[in-house]
Chains A and B, each alone.
Chain A
Amino acid sequence: MSTRNDRERAALLQGTLDLLVLRTLAVGPHHGHGIALAIQHSSQGALLVDHGSLYPALQRLEAAGWVRAEWGVSDNNRRARFYELTAAGRKQLVKEAGEWRRLAKAVGLVLGPELNGG
């Protein structure tokens, strides 16, 4: 396993994964597995969430006070830890989503219309 790949994957994670998790939880409480699936579905399969990284991210968000968690029972009767967005998390989501949109727009402007070939 090369360090370079490691680094790129890691790079993707921290900034964006947090945002995606927050966004997913804005709909309602969810457990980790559900969050991973939801992201995958919403991105039409483009974003595969690395399960090993998801839980540290949740951990981080919980530590920051943006989500809170509680054990509950899932649809198919599995015990699971449900995460829920806090008021502070909602604020953070609005802020980060705005930033991300601005950045995406800026990058889009630079890139201009889609080029052929390449």
Chain B
Amino acid sequence: MWWAFWKRWTRRSSDDFAAEIESHIAMEADRLMREGMTPKDARSAAKRAFGNTTAARENFREHRPGWTVESIGQDVRYSLRGMRHNPSFTIIAVVSLALGIGANTTMFSVVNAILLETPAHVQDAARVNRVYFAVPGPDGSAKPWPTQGYKVYAMLRDRVHGFESVAAFAERPISSGRGAAARRLDGVLVTPSFMTVLGARPALGRFFDSSEERDENEHVVVVSYELWKTQYGGETTVLGKSIDVTGIPYTIIGVAPQGFTGVNTSHVDLWLPLGVATRLFSSNALDPESSGYWLECIGKRREGVSVARLEDEMTREYRALYRDQPFYEQRLSKAKALAGPIVVARGPVRGADARVALWLAAVSIIVLLIACANVANLLLLRGLARARETALRLSLGATRSRLARQSVIEGLLLAVIGAIGALIVARWSGTALRAFLLPSADRAAVVNGPVIAFMLAVTVVTGILASIVPAIVTARREFGPLVSAGRTSGARERLRLLRALIGSQVALATMLLIGAGLFVSSLRNVHRIDLGLDVDRILYVKLDGGSRSKTEDSVTNARMAATFNTMVERVRTIPGVVRASLTAGEPFASGFGLGVARRGSAPPAPGTPVPFGRAVGSDYFETMGTRLVRGRFFNADDHRPGRRVAIIDESTAKQYWPDADPLDPCAIVGRDPQCTQIVGVVANTVLWDVVGEKGFIVYVPIESPWGSPATMMEVRTSSDPATLIGLVRQAVTSVSPDLPWVDIQPVARRLDPQVRPWRLGASMFTAFGALALSLAAIGLYGLLSYGVAQRTHEIGVRKALGAADGRVMRMVLGEAMAMAVVGVTVGVGLALLAGRAMASQLYQVSPRDPLVFALCAAVLLAVAVIACAAPARRALTVDPIVALRAD
């Protein structure tokens, strides 16, 4: 029965209510007529007595339960009116939310691109696996490794039945054209099965067929959609045309689909059949017994085959493959195959960018929380200011749930407007992020479908988060019917909430600032590392084009050496070039073991690092800015062929000549029985990477028995090296016009990816920290302003009673500063907790660095004081007379 009643009541329409009012007025008119009024007068008097019928109907609507469209529309209108009337509130709230949502959208777009999105044009991406093998090293640790030799690929293809199809690929830069027309193209060598595994179809023409997997004379190529559009005008006649690949014409047989980059996300210009690897790189690249690990393997699991089963099968076959080689036996019994997902960052080998991106995503969520707290604060503050209005609405019959709903709708509206601003923020910060911080994340920070969906979700959650506290307070507070002013217990409760919210804002801001401080000092430490060379003024010129086939022909080698020497001479004449030198192999990227020893000394203990050899041309140390510690650099005489001289660095000197003069006239180098003279000792320089080990390098002249032909030129400049790239290229190609693409870049840029995680962390934490700080400052300012306004009367009384300015100041500031101090303390505590997780991302900074902590706390307190200054001054200027009269 109750249910029936409820149903009937909920169905009660506005018209029904109107009918009731009409009947009431009619009855009142009847009564008045009985008292002697004329029908006309009675009617109008009855209407007057009833009052505003429209108002009553509106009241009726408010009491109808449920979320009707019209009542929500009303709330929206009401909220918009409120926002218009209070522009400073609206602007602060919208800007806070725009920054918070914008930061999150940007970070999500990065996370989406790196972690979530599968590469374009891949069918059934969940069934496509990358193959890794983890073979325990001598120390027992087994790091999964993605590259394999051709032999392993063939094993996966022929023996592993869990795979429907298997493919292998290798990314390689390709030099196209010669001399001035030379350019670098990003090439990927693939097996013909590559497109089958991924399920991709060409936009035009065809992909490779199986004969092209191993035949080095099949000079065919598939160009990327983008190259086709830009270089060939998107014409179908492109098929059959030829393109120069390291000096050989290749026939274009197809065009890849738009945006297709295989399983990685890096840029691709050309797809080449695997067979040509023997011609492009190494003649034994496809030899099953070659030890070169250069191919990455992928495969498509058969329907119904689990990853675990596949891994078991691959592990079994992998061990079987090497069973005949007793050398491998022990380690192989522990080798394991892994089938990782197609998205690299989700697999066992993830880059620093992926880790940093996740960190930043977490940080951006904190920023969003702060923005929410800020808006909640503002809504609460405004709720306080509107306490009378609320009481009035309640007594006029508005229900509490309706008021709470109003608050939520207001929060959602603010979030939606904020989201529009966030789109602008996301576009702008996305561009900045791509340009400065994540150049490799080509597709990152693109606002696409999933990003928009995420942003909408964030907007709704933010709107609700920001307004839920004010809504609950509104709904719960017992604004009795006799409420007469704002200063009620409800107000006190709100103030308590406000303080908690601002305290947490301060705490979160402190945490972020400390994070920023730790990253900034890491970055500073990284920059301060003495690399042993002067990276800021050096250009690296890669002369072998990345793919010159090595030759044993001494005539050719001699001719090349002469050409390179002419190039160095030519480059040295460029204004702005201070020095130039040649080296064999690329510092930081290549090296060969070259032992040294003092004649007659005991063989080094096992585990002693074997030095790396580096073959250098004349002027090398002067060009690189490596400091001489003892003796001398190589002179012209040392660069005569057949001379046996070497220069060692400090670590090597200390290790092998611990108690003797390292300038040994008759040292042993390599397995050479003859005397080698150590002519100098130089400072340690960086070996592979910036933060890695340094030292243990033995320098020998290119021309010495241990040397090899030069492949690199280093150029020292007097100003920014990047400005000289063009002139250096001209000089080099003028000597050798048919040179393939010469890669020239400042050393600093080469080392940049290594420094990037810290720079990313430092700049993002700083940006987010500053954002959080300003949001917290706005919160403090708002609360204190409100406090002063509310207490004007009290301040007036105190002043009238003779309170000194200092006392008033203390009264006003005390509360705000107490909040700030509590917030900072909590923030420091949180930072200490979070620090442990952050330690691995830092460089030579303790996650509890006292200086950083103290500095951040000081900055926060200073900002708190500044935020409080204006309201506090307002308190001082309160005129007791005016204040007392006001109430």
Q: Which residues of B contact A7 (CB under 8 A)?
A: 388, 391-392, 395, 484
Closest chain-A Cβ to B635's Cβ sits at a distance in Å of 98
Binary contact track B545-584/A, C-beta < 8 Å → 1, others 0:
0000000000000000000000000000000000000000
Contact at A50–B51, with CB atoms within 8 Å?
yes
Contact at B481–A15, with CB atoms within 8 Å?
yes
Q: Which residues of B contact A68 (CB under 8 A)?
A: 5
Binary contact track B355-396/A, C-beta < 8 Å → 1, others 0:
000000000000000000000000000000000100110011
Of B23, B52, B55, B397, which one neighbours A78 at CB under 8 angstroms?
Answer: B23
Contact at A56–B63, with CB atoms within 8 Å?
yes
Contact at A63–B484, with CB atoms within 8 Å?
no
Taking the complex as formed, is A37 at the interface, i.e. its CB lies under 8 A from any CB of chain B? yes
Taking the complex as formed, is A11 at the interface, i.e. its CB lies under 8 A from any CB of chain B? yes
Question: How far does the alpha carbon of A68 sit from the alpha carbon of B17 in the complex, in Å?
Answer: 14
Q: Which residues of B contact A11 (CB under 8 A)?
A: 395, 481-482
Closest chain-A Cβ to B207's Cβ sits at a distance in Å of 71
Taking the complex as formed, is A2 at the interface, i.e. its CB lies under 8 A from any CB of chain B? no
Q: Which residues of A contact B30 (CB under 8 A)?
A: 76, 78
Residue among A13, A32, A55, A79 with most chain B CB within 10 A: A55
Contact at A33–B24, with CB atoms within 8 Å?
yes
Closest chain-B Cβ to A34's Cβ sits at a distance in Å of 8
Contact at B28–A33, with CB atoms within 8 Å?
yes
Q: Which residues of A contact B28 (CB under 8 A)?
A: 33, 51
Contact at A32–B24, with CB atoms within 8 Å?
yes
Name B's interface SS.
helix
Taking the complex as formed, is B59 at the interface, i.e. its CB lies under 8 A from any CB of chain A? yes
Contact at B26–A60, with CB atoms within 8 Å?
no
Closest chain-B Cβ to A88's Cβ sits at a distance in Å of 10
Taking the complex as formed, is A42 at the interface, i.e. its CB lies under 8 A from any CB of chain B? no
B residues 9-28 in Cβ contact with A at 8 Å? 9, 17, 19-21, 23-24, 26-28
Looking across the interface, which residue of chain A has its beta carbon closest to that of B394? A14
Known: A32-B24, A51-B24, A63-B63. A56 touches B52 (CB 8 A): no
Q: Which residues of B contact A51 (CB under 8 A)?
A: 24, 28, 49-51
Closest chain-A Cβ to B340's Cβ sits at a distance in Å of 60
Taking the complex as formed, is B834 at the interface, i.e. its CB lies under 8 A from any CB of chain A? no
A residues 25-79 in Cβ contact with B at 8 Å? 31-34, 37, 50-53, 55-57, 59-60, 62-63, 65, 68, 74, 76, 78-79
Taking the complex as formed, is B65 at the interface, i.e. its CB lies under 8 A from any CB of chain A? yes
Taking the complex as formed, is A114 at the interface, i.e. its CB lies under 8 A from any CB of chain B? no
Known: A13-B395, A55-B60, A68-B5. A32 touches B20 (CB 8 A): yes
Q: Which residues of B contact A6 (CB under 8 A)?
A: 392
Binary contact track B434-477/A, C-beta < 8 Å → 1, others 0:
00000000000000000000000000000000000000000000
Q: Which residues of B contact A3 (CB under 8 A)?
A: 388, 392
Closest chain-B Cβ to A3's Cβ sits at a distance in Å of 7
Question: How far does the alpha carbon of A31 sit from the alpha carbon of B391 in the complex, in Å?
Answer: 29
B residues 46-74 in Cβ contact with A at 8 Å? 49-53, 55-56, 59-60, 63, 65
Taking the complex as formed, is B31 at the interface, i.e. its CB lies under 8 A from any CB of chain A? yes
Q: Which residues of B contact A62 (CB under 8 A)?
A: 9
Known: A52-B50, A52-B55, A52-B56. A65 touches B2 (CB 8 A): yes
Closest chain-A Cβ to B722's Cβ sits at a distance in Å of 70
Q: Which residues of A contact B20 (CB under 8 A)?
A: 32, 55, 80-81
Question: How far does the alpha carbon of A53 sit from the alpha carbon of B388 in the complex, in Å?
Answer: 20
Name A's interface SS.
helix
Q: Which residues of A contact B392 (CB under 8 A)?
A: 3, 6-7, 10
Contact at A80–B27, with CB atoms within 8 Å?
yes
Residue among A37, A57, A78 with most chain B CB within 10 A: A78
Query: Size range of the interface on A?
Result: 20 to 34
Query: Size range of the interface on B?
Result: 20 to 34
Q: Which residues of A contact B484 (CB under 8 A)?
A: 7
Q: Which residues of A contact B5 (CB under 8 A)?
A: 68
Q: Which residues of B contact A78 (CB under 8 A)?
A: 23, 26-27, 30
Looking across the interface, which residue of chain A has its beta carbon closest to that of B6? A65
B residues 656-676 in Cβ contact with A at 8 Å? none
Closest chain-A Cβ to B23's Cβ sits at a distance in Å of 5
Residue among B2, B5, B28, B397 with most chain A CB within 10 A: B397
Looking across the interface, which residue of chain B has its beta carbon closest to that of A77? B30
Question: How far does the alpha carbon of A12 sit from the alpha carbon of B741 in the complex, in Å?
Answer: 91
Residue among A15, A31, A34, A59 with most chain B CB within 10 A: A59
Question: How far does the alpha carbon of A52 sit from the alpha carbon of B387 in the complex, in Å?
Answer: 24
Closest chain-A Cβ to B397's Cβ sits at a distance in Å of 4
Residue among B20, B28, B396, B484 with most chain A CB within 10 A: B20
Q: Which residues of B contact A37 (CB under 8 A)?
A: 31
Q: Which residues of B contact A81 (CB under 8 A)?
A: 19-20, 23
Q: Which residues of B contact A74 (CB under 8 A)?
A: 23, 27
Q: Which residues of B contact A34 (CB under 8 A)?
A: 27
Looking across the interface, which residue of chain A has its beta carbon closest to that of B398? A56
Q: Which residues of B contact A56 (CB under 8 A)?
A: 56, 59-60, 63, 396-397
Looking across the interface, which residue of chain A has its beta carbon closest to that of B10? A63
Contact at B50–A31, with CB atoms within 8 Å?
no
Question: How far does the alpha carbon of A6 sit from the alpha carbon of B28 in the complex, in Å?
Answer: 24
Known: A51-B51, A56-B56, A60-B63. A10 touches B21 (CB 8 A): no
Closest chain-B Cβ to A55's Cβ sits at a distance in Å of 5
Q: Which residues of B contact A63 (CB under 8 A)?
A: 9, 63, 65
Looking across the interface, which residue of chain A has its beta carbon closest to that of B21? A55
Question: How far does the alpha carbon of A36 sit from the alpha carbon of B226 in the complex, in Å?
Answer: 82
Question: How far does the alpha carbon of A80 sit from the alpha carbon of B481 in the complex, in Å?
Answer: 30
Question: How far does the alpha carbon of A15 sit from the alpha carbon of B9 in the complex, in Å?
Answer: 23
Binary contact track B123-141/A, C-beta < 8 Å → 1, others 0:
0000000000000000000
A residues near B (Cβ < 8 Å) are: 3, 6-7, 10-11, 13-15, 31-34, 37, 50-53, 55-57, 59-60, 62-63, 65, 68, 74, 76, 78-81
Given contacts A37-B31, A60-B63, 11 further A-B contacts (CB under 8 A): A10-B395, A11-B481, A14-B395, A52-B53, A56-B59, A59-B59, A63-B9, A76-B27, A80-B27, A81-B20, A81-B23
Ordered by A's residue number, 14 sampled pairs between the chains whose C-beta atoms are within 8 Å are A7-B388, A7-B392, A31-B24, A32-B20, A37-B31, A50-B51, A52-B51, A55-B17, A59-B59, A60-B397, A63-B63, A65-B2, A80-B20, A81-B20
**Nearest 6 Cβ contacts at the A-B interface:** A52-B51, A10-B395, A33-B27, A56-B397, A51-B50, A56-B59
